[in-house]
Amino acid sequence: MPATGPATCLVPFARASHEHLESMQDVTQALTPTSTILGPYDVPAYGYLRNIILDVHAFGGSGTGVTAAEDAPWSVISEIALVDTNGTPVVGPFSGYDLYLVNKYGGYAYASDPKLSPMYSGVAASDGGFRFCLRVPVEFSAQDGLGSLPNTNAASTWKVRITLAPANHVYGTTPSPLPSVRVRIHLDAWSQPSRTDLQGNTMAQAPPAVGTTSYWSKIILPVSYGFNTLRLLRGRALIRNLLFVCRNAADSRSEGDAMFPDTTSLQRPFPHTWCIPLHT
């Protein structure tokens, strides 16, 4: 009878790997009356990409009676995008307020509202300062690493694009002088596991269903009074979330629930085409 060794088990990827956090960029730019482009910044090649973490801090302003614009402080970012190695946007491009909604309602963490973070502070009336943290999500299951993507090619990197908004997009009453904005960008990744652990157990070297990708896209659709049928983006994809932001002709959400349709349904009338009938 052939001899058999001790039984081995497959160690799941999230146990076999190690979490890795690495600083990518630390840039400070004075806020101005016009837009300011930052980057694009290369994402360091390391293991499997989970998220990009943004730490945005405004400081150094002065004045009294400073007021915040409607979407502030998130509106300090007028555009952000995470682009893969083929030049395809995986997240965005959209605004900092859009990214705030993705963080709050995307289901990526417990108590996921960025306003609940101890690092959050809103626009200060005394000097216009503020601070917040946002994630640009790639992975959508921290329990097993599902959705994290290979990021090992240093010759062809992921990229992060950021554009800072004009000061009047952040403030109703602006401070004088205007503050500077410090943007710190961090890579959140999994390491590449070894084939076996010290006990000889085989370790999963990739997250489950590697290559599964979550895309966040934005589309702006005009809606008139009455019945509307709106066609969605990415009709051939599986839908994970839909977030609605209703704005009036002045691009304001100030009317709140009054702008949201009282009857909404999701339909798939034809193969690979999703539509949302709205009655406003």
The answer to whether 188 touches 21, Cβ cutoff 8 Å, is yes
The answer to whether 139 touches 60, Cβ cutoff 8 Å, is no
Residue 275's pLDDT is 60
Could you state, in chain order, the average pLDDT of each consecutive group of 10 residues for the chain (280 residues)? 60 94 97 95 97 97 93 97 95 96 92 94 96 96 94 95 97 95 98 92 94 92 83 76 88 78 73 57
| Range of the structural domain that residue 59 is part of | 15-190
Residue 24's pLDDT is 96
- Structural domains in the chain (count): 2
Tokens (6 digits) for 266? 């999701």
Q: Is 5 exposed, middle or buried (0-12, 13-18, 19+ CB in 10 A)?
A: exposed
Residue 235's pLDDT is 65
Whether the model clears a pTM of 0.85, i.e. scores above it, the answer is yes
131 & 255 share domain: no
> Residue 172 is part of a domain; what is its CATH number?
2.70.9.30
Residue 5's pLDDT is 54
Residue 259's pLDDT is 76
31 & 154 share domain: yes
Helix, strand or coil for residue 233?
coil
Residue 269's pLDDT is 63
Residue 63's pLDDT is 86
Residue 253's pLDDT is 86
Tell me if 29 is assigned to some domain.
yes
114 & 24 share domain: yes
The answer to whether 187 touches 44, Cβ cutoff 8 Å, is yes
Residue 17's pLDDT is 95
